[in-house]
Structure 1
């Protein structure tokens, strides 16, 4: 499985969608921790995030995040990508129509090459009170057997 093309695509688009101000875009495709099911894997990810990605580190059990999963159709994935790929003022000047559709289509082709056959799940959560996760975000999980990945889009300051 080759995720490098999808990850490179996301890194470039995150740079293009980071505002000139202090707004930072984070677009990532990451393998989720091994777990018996998708919900547990997502819980392990947010627990790790709270312990290792923020200062000061906090022990926040997965149950506090109120993680929910819902089936996600391909059209919803396309809409999420369209919204995030053209979220900054800079990228909103990109020509509408064919250019934008082709950019999203090329990214989805790279995802299909890496994760074709995986089921998609929209992820929603409510981080624990008093904990900062991002200004806004969208996440879609991919699952096939015991292999799971998370597509993460967010803006932070």
Structure 2
């Protein structure tokens, strides 16, 4: 019964507030790009996503949560964030980054960046996020912090 109530609540909220949410499910196919263009929030929590698209064009997106548990080494394409100019909150948990995607520099409005439980290599690109107010590395392994963060 709990799952039915949750699914109905998600369906209602998704339509009214333009939210795409997936939790503990397999994503067989990404929604059509025109459906995502009106999204203000995307939450992909504990899912079986095996591959991300080259980029998502989500000009209204303000929040993107991606908690990944299946493939620790899933790669985020370099251009993935280019179409998310209004993004304010980005949470990428449980990921492995030799370097962060270069398209992060496009996130000129980003206020919150959470890289929790990640293995992090080169993260120098975060010094370009001039409006960043909150940065979290909880439980992460970090090779080296950029001197500019200190």
TM-score normalised by length of structure 1:
0.21
Specify which structure has the bigger relative contact order, considering alpha-carbon pairs within 8 angstroms and separated by 6 or more residues. 1
TM-score normalised by length of structure 2:
0.22
